[in-house]
Structure 1
Amino acid sequence: MEVKAISAKELHNNINSGQPIFILDVRNTEDYNDWKIEHKHLTSVNIPYFDFLDDNEDIYHSLPKDTEIVVICAKGGSAKMIGEMLAERGYHVSYLEEGMLEWSQFYHPVTVTEDKDMKIIQVNRLAKGCLSYMIISDGEAMVVDPGRHFEEYLKLAEQEQVKITRIADTHLHADHISGGPELAKRTGAVYYISRSEMQGADEIPYEPLEDDQKIQVGNTQVKVVAIPTPGHTPGSVSFLVNDRYLLSGDTIFVGGIGRPDLGGKAREWAQSLYDTVFTHIANLSDSTWVLPTHYAHIKEINEEGVVVARLGDIRANNEVMRTENREQFTEMVAGASGATPPNYEEIIQINRGVVHVADEVATQLEIGPNRCAVHHS
């Protein structure tokens, strides 16, 4: 039987169709446990590549013959070889052509809301749990927290027939490389980020958010207000769109809040995060829709394929958001951050424009999940 190569987009479409998907991941167990493809519509098992070379018949017993098996490895080569071995035994097999390397660079746009004045699109980079946004009004677009693959936003803007005029990063990202500066260079758009996030950087042109806290996109019906929300990083901001949608960066997530330890000042930044939660956003209505820059689990994606929640529900369901005692809050947040994002120090320097790397190096630096949240449900 023929072994078919499929793309990340094809795999995602198959998963979203609701048909049964069986993934055989042949990477080593440590890599699989750290980072894998997950979805409620698929079954995933890990049998390392070398186990198939031992001619052990027992390893085939867990593999179905009535469902297509999608074999996955790091870059595609090992998956193709194992796929051919399975096909010889009568299994129906395909493989992800460029493996997790390709999956790590796949972006999926979903419309959050649309009316006559405005449209918000959430762009989900599923492998990273990274979310970015395009706010559209009257032929113009603002992109918030774009990923490194700037061409994805150029393509989306072309599809939507809009011109990108504003680009912003809510903060200096530690788990992935921003596409903001390069996208601004390609489009001529203004790039916004907080001045305090770019200290020591002089190569990247930007407009400090401290100087321009109200940003207009398209017609006057669309209002984007930058709200200082420090804690995850000192210069973090959130964007309140039309008093209804809070693009919260890494400050507030559907299932947690931003970790404050990546600058080596966990307790100090946790204090700032406390002020953000109980002062800066305290007056926002419970009906405000929160659109974060990351998510940590597929359960945070709703039935429409969007990561979003009402602020009132997040407050009700998240213990940290209800902990008004400052010292207790600080202990909970500063002491529960967990493993740091891989390569985060180098990624921060790249995002400041202090360090430059080739695309191949950038791809390797970004591989792996995001680890930007502290979860207390």
Structure 2
Amino acid sequence: MTVNILTAKQITEKVLNKESLFILDVRNETDFNDWKIEGENFEYLNIPYFELIDGIEPIQDKLPTDKEILVVCAKEGSSMMVAEFLDEAGISSSILEGGMKSWSEFLHKTKVYEDQDITVYQFVRVGKGCLSYMVVSDGEALIVDPARFVEQYEAAALEAGAKVKHIVDSHLHADHISGGKMLADMTGADYYLMKSEGATFDFIPLEDHEKIVFNNVTLEVLAVKTPGHTPGSVSFFVNNKLLFSGDTIFVSGLGRPDLGNKVREWAKDLYNTVYSKVSEIADDVIVLPGHYASLDDEMNASGFIGATLGDIRKRNEKMFNTSEEEFLDQVEKSASSVKPPNFEEIVSINRGMVSADVEKMQELEIGPNRCAVHHAE
């Protein structure tokens, strides 16, 4: 038989187009419950592949006859086996090329903003909820919070007629491996990070630069720093129009400040950031965050994840319009939620204290992001 193979890019298009899809996920139940391919019109059946080794008869009556079926596993092999069983039973299906590993690593590029001075692209890591950006001006590109798939940013810059010259990380990431240092080594670009984040390799400290200016771009390091999610978190204000908020402000929440085991202390920093620094920014500024929780809820009508600061203030009124004590209580409640898996090891890698090969990085990154504090309903 010839198994029909769909790529992560093709599945992403189905997600964005809100198509119907029936997913037969043959991973373990705990892995499925922790993390799956999410689509507004997707249906799911989770049966571990080892329960189907003798054939798919036990689940045949649970499979639709009028919908496309996608078989998903961790790395592709198990889904291929199950798809072959389905084919023998006369049931057509497809598999996800590379399994959930490829889903975790795919970047969807979309244009988010353009004027006479700059063009801005968003890279959506659909399987992780991570966001990164490219700002292009007169042949130079600035990359914000790059993932480790550095060749993709270089290729995107080339396609836009630009060269990567500047790279910034808004903070020391805890849920994925940063591509900042790797991209700088590959392109020779300047790489900026807060010195207070404790990285052990060479970089340009953001503490020394209130602004980074090139061509028609003025990138302001917002009030030097916007601590809270980490002590050295920063936001980047570009041309007084766009706020790259890292993990400080999301469309539907704020960055969680508990990953350093100093919940109350860092939450106070986050409160001061929101109520002193962010409060001075106009409502019509477009906020472009470092993560999202739900494509359905946070992707706007223009096809990117972001919103005006005014809309975010309304959406998260309980966090943007409350007393300090209520804010701290709210954050402490959210801090009891599950932390990003492997975050301490990921932070050590991003700090340059330990190294990891590609296989190890893939293993550490598997799973969803858990970097936000959402308001209580």
Q: Shorter-chain-normalised TM-score: which range?
A: over 0.9
Amino acid at match of 1:251: T
Amino acid at match of 1:3: V
Q: How far apart in 1 are the matches of 2:289 and 2:124? A: 11
* Farther off after superposition, 7-16 or 237-246: 7-16
Paired residues of 2:56 and 2:82 also in contact (CA < 8 A) = no
* Farther off after superposition, 261-270 or 54-63: 54-63
For 1:329, the equivalent position in structure 2 comes to 327
C-alpha offsets along residues 296-327 of structure 1, whole Å, 9 cap, x if unaligned?
A: 11221223331111111211121442343112
Residues 1:351 and 2:350 aligned together: yes
Q: How far apart in 2 are the matches of 1:55 and 1:194? A: 55
Paired residues of 2:113 and 2:120 also in contact (CA < 8 A) = yes
Q: How far apart in 1 are the matches of 2:97 and 2:311? A: 40
Counting only pairs closer than 5 Å after superposition, residues 252-263 of structure 1 correspond to structure 2 as 252-263=249-260
Distance 1:351 1:334, change over 3 A: same
Q: Secondary structure at the match of 1:104?
A: helix
Paired residues of 1:68 and 1:93 also in contact (CA < 8 A) = yes
Distance 1:148 1:324, change over 3 A: same
Counting only pairs closer than 5 Å after superposition, residues 85-124 of structure 1 correspond to structure 2 as 85-124=85-124
For 1:178, the equivalent position in structure 2 comes to 178
For 2:373, the equivalent position in structure 1 comes to 374
For 1:305, the equivalent position in structure 2 comes to 303
Q: How far apart in 2 are the matches of 1:81 and 1:55? A: 10
Amino acid at match of 1:103: W
Distance 1:73 1:223, change over 3 A: same
For 1:229, the equivalent position in structure 2 comes to 226
Amino acid at match of 2:252: G
Distance 1:313 1:19, change over 3 A: closer
For 2:143, the equivalent position in structure 1 comes to 143
Q: How far apart in 1 are the matches of 2:60 and 2:309? A: 47
C-alpha offsets along residues 147-170 of structure 1, whole Å, 9 cap, x if unaligned?
A: 011111011111111011110000
For 2:131, the equivalent position in structure 1 comes to 131
C-alpha offsets along residues 56-111 of structure 1, whole Å, 9 cap, x if unaligned?
A: 74522221223221100001011000001111112121101210011111011110
Paired residues of 2:56 and 2:86 also in contact (CA < 8 A) = no
TM superposition score normalised by structure 2:
0.95
Counting only pairs closer than 5 Å after superposition, residues 9-28 of structure 1 correspond to structure 2 as 9-28=9-28
Distance 1:54 1:88, change over 3 A: closer
Paired residues of 1:320 and 1:332 also in contact (CA < 8 A) = no
Q: Secondary structure at the match of 1:285?
A: coil
C-alpha offsets along residues 322-359 of structure 1, whole Å, 9 cap, x if unaligned?
A: 34311221111123121111111111111111111111
Q: Secondary structure at the match of 1:281?
A: helix
Amino acid at match of 2:220: V
Listed as ranges, the gaps of 5+ residues in structure 1 are none
**Of residues 316, 319, 324 in structure 2, which corresponds to 1:318?**
316
Amino acid at match of 1:276: T
Amino acid at match of 2:60: Y
Q: Secondary structure at the match of 2:123?
A: strand
Amino acid at match of 1:300: E
Amino acid at match of 2:213: Q
Counting only pairs closer than 5 Å after superposition, residues 208-247 of structure 1 correspond to structure 2 as 208-219=205-216, 222-227=217-222, 228-247=225-244
TM superposition score normalised by structure 1:
0.95
Q: How far apart in 2 are the matches of 1:257 and 1:28? A: 32
For 1:68, the equivalent position in structure 2 comes to 68
Size of the alignment, in residue pairs? 372
Moved over 6 A (4+): none
Q: Secondary structure at the match of 2:334?
A: coil
Q: How far apart in 1 are the matches of 2:323 and 2:269? A: 14
CA RMSD of aligned residues (A): 1.6
Paired residues of 2:18 and 2:39 also in contact (CA < 8 A) = no
Q: How far apart in 1 are the matches of 2:167 and 2:188? A: 10
Distance 1:284 1:180, change over 3 A: same
Amino acid at match of 2:227: P
Listed as ranges, the gaps of 5+ residues in structure 2 are none
How far is 1:53 from its partner? 3.3
Amino acid at match of 2:334: A
Paired residues of 1:167 and 1:191 also in contact (CA < 8 A) = yes
Q: How far apart in 1 are the matches of 2:345 and 2:242? A: 32
Q: How far apart in 2 are the matches of 1:89 and 1:155? A: 43
For 2:4, the equivalent position in structure 1 comes to 4
* Farther off after superposition, 249-258 or 331-340: 331-340
Paired residues of 1:209 and 1:226 also in contact (CA < 8 A) = yes
For 1:206, the equivalent position in structure 2 comes to 203
Paired residues of 1:65 and 1:90 also in contact (CA < 8 A) = no
Q: How far apart in 1 are the matches of 2:360 and 2:38? A: 26
